[in-house]
């Protein structure tokens, strides 16, 4: 069984010049083939609900999508349309290694990457014996399938998380994120909830803090500086993950919505989602319909970009940017934060 499959998006990487839009598609993360996946859970019973570490996001209407023309057409960030949401809750930071460890200790949960024995690691982050570096993903040679890479070993078997307790947990699939949320009395955000919360109250801005990427040259988030994928100048201080509370929070008190790690959302991903639902009236609390296919192969929305994003290759560190991966996929730059219904 191939460890890293060649989904259409990944296959396009072999001829990037022919598919400029798709080319930008997978700086982000390669897909993995595995079996089995649970269904979606959209609400948490009031009695089981935990609001720990969550900020209240006020009810409101916002413009969802790319108001600046920055996006890749194939991602479906257009049309910009109004979305109305009731108040809800969002974690102020992504789930950390320490938090995930508490979950695993309490439940004995085994992640998809652990069950599979392999996960995707960025080439400069590999910490493994050569024999454990199995292969690169087709067309994205900076992604290596590493045997023994999992949330406890983000760079491979020789790495650990002792010094990364307050960093995002990574190598967690959408399935794993769902399991954590259920245990925590929380749920994944919908894509609309993610974007509205990430905007922090700023109307149609590019970033959670405004329209300018840096503050007079000072970085406001953890992305890539230098030449991707070979040389990172570390201007923002981090080659891979930063602590979950690094950098200033946005107007709602949320840290690192853009940059650091991709964040799973509840919704199935469709490039035509916005086009299909946009109309003259605001769309109320949209959530993508569940596709009628093998749950493991359903592509799930990921938001916010990661420490690998760079303007030269993938500018998905904007609040409007969209990406996706299959529910069973994991890599060293995908994590998640939880949401909840208002108390």
List of residues contacting Ca ion (CB under 5 A): 222, 236, 238, 256, 260, 304, 307
238 binds, among Ca ion, Cu ion, none (CB under 5 to 8 A by kind): Ca ion
Q: Which does 304 bind (CB under 5 to 8 A by kind): Ca ion, Cu ion, none?
A: Ca ion
Q: Which residues bind Cu ion (CB under 5 A)?
A: 27-28, 305, 309, 314, 316
Do residues 190 and 283 touch, judged by C-beta distance below 8 A? no
> What are the DSSP calls for 193-212, one per residue?
HHHHHHHTT-TT-SBTTBS-
Nearer to Cu ion, 32 or 340 (CB): 32
Q: Residue 34 CB, nearest distance to Ca ion (Å)?
A: 24
For residue 65, the partner it binds in Ca ion, Cu ion, none, with Cβ less than 5 to 8 A by kind, is: none
Query: In the complex, which residue's CB is closest to Ca ion?
Result: 304
For strand 262-268 and strand 334-335, is the pairing parallel, antiparallel, or unpaired?
Answer: parallel
Q: Strand order in 54-57's β-sheet?
A: 54-57, 88-91, 339-341
- For residues 134 and 144, the answer to whether their CB atoms sit within 8 Å is yes
Give, for 144, the enclosing helix (H) or strand (E).
strand 140-147
Q: How far is the CB of 299 from Cu ion (least distance, A)?
A: 16
Name which of 27 and 338 has its Cβ closer to Cu ion.
Answer: 27
Residue placing its CB nearer to Ca ion in the complex, 103 or 122: 122
Q: Considering the complex, state which of residue 175 and residue 257 has its C-beta at the smaller distance from Ca ion.
A: 257
Question: Is the CB of 235 or the CB of 277 nearer to Ca ion?
Answer: 235
The option from Ca ion, Cu ion, none interacting with 140 (CB < 5 to 8 A, set by class) reads: none
Do the strands 334-335 and 299-303 form a parallel or antiparallel pair, or are they unpaired? unpaired
Residue 26 CB, nearest distance to Cu ion (Å)? 9
Residue 181 interacts, among Cu ion, Ca ion, none and using kind-specific CB cut-offs from 5 to 8 Å, with none
Helix (H, G, I), strand (E, B) or coil at 250: coil
**Which residues partner with 310 through β-bridges?**
314
* Least distance CB 316 / Ca ion (angstroms): 10
């Amino acid at each position: 069984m191939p460890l890293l499959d060649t989904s259409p998006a990944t296959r396009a990487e072999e001829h990037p010049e022919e598919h400029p839009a798709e080319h930008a598609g997978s700086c982000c993360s390669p897909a993995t083939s595995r079996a089995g996946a649970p269904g979606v859970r959209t609400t948490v019973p009031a009695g089981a609900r935990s609001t720990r570490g969550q900020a209240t996001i006020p009810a409101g209407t916002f413009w969802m999508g790319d108001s600046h023309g920055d996006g890749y057409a194939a991602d479906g960030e257009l049309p910009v349309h109004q979305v109305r949401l009731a108040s809800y809750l969002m974690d102020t930071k992504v789930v950390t290694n320490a938090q995930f460890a508490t979950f695993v200790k309490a439940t004995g949960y085994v992640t998809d990457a652990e069950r599979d024995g392999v996960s995707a690691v960025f080439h400069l982050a590999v910490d493994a014996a050569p024999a454990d570096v199995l292969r690169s993903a087709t067309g994205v040679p900076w992604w290596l399938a590493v045997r023994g890479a999992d949330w406890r070993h983000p760079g491979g078997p020789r790495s650990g998380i002792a010094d990364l307790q307050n960093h995002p947990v990574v190598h967690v699939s959408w399935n794993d994120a769902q399991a954590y949320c259920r245990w925590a009395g929380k749920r994944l955000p919908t894509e609309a909830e993610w974007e509205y919360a990430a905007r922090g109250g700023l109307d149609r801005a590019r970033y959670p803090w405004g329209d300018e990427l840096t503050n007079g040259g000072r970085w406001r988030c953890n992305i890539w500086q230098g030449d991707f994928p070979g040389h990172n100048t570390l201007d923002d201080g981090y080659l891979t993950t930063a602590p979950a509370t690094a950098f200033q929070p946005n107007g709602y008190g949320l840290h690192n919505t853009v940059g650091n790690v991709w964040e799973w959302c509840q919704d199935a991903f469709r490039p035509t989602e916005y086009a299909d639902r946009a109309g003259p009236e605001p769309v109320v609390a949209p959530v993508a319909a569940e596709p009628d296919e093998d749950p493991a192969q359903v592509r799930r929305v990921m938001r916010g970009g990661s420490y690998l994003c760079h303007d030269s290759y993938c500018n998905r560190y904007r609040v409007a940017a969209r990406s996706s991966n299959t529910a069973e996929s994991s890599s060293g730059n995908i994590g998640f934060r939880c949401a909840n219904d208002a108390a």
